Amino acid sequence: MTSVKGVFVKELFIRLAKDEQGQDLVEYALIVAAVGLALITTVNQLSSAIVSLYSSITTGLASIGTGGA
């Protein structure tokens, strides 16, 4: 004979398995994580390019000053 508590737990698991309300939240969280990862990667690459650009500008300006007349 099945206990009342066992039947309640079984019905609870069946309802949770059919419930799809929390699914949207998980999908949005995955999208936010993917966009965040893409932004971090882009910012890291962009910062390297900016540092390289400023370095070349600084080198160019320094060579102008030492060019002499």
Neighbours of 9 (CB within 10 A): 11
Instruction: Please give the residue range of the domain that contains residue 33.
Output: 20-64
For residue range 10-60, list pLDDT tens digits in order. 887 777 777 666 677 888 899 999 999 999 999 999 998 999 999 999 998
| DSSP-H helix ranges across the chain | 4-18, 21-65
| Residue 31 belongs to some domain of the structure | yes
Has residue 68 got a pLDDT over 60?
Answer: no
Q: Is the pLDDT of residue 69 over 70?
A: no
Q: What angle do CA 43, 47, 53 make, to 5 degrees?
A: 145
What's this model's pTM, rounded to 2 decimal places? 0.47
- For residue 1, is pLDDT > 50? no
Evaluate whether residue 1 is within a structural domain: no
What's the total number of domains in the chain?
A: 1
Per-position b or e across 30-59, b if 16+ CB within 10 A of its CB: eeeeeeeeeeeeeeeeeeeeeeeeeeeeee
- Write down the pLDDT at residue 32: 95
In this structure, is residue 47 part of a structural domain?
yes
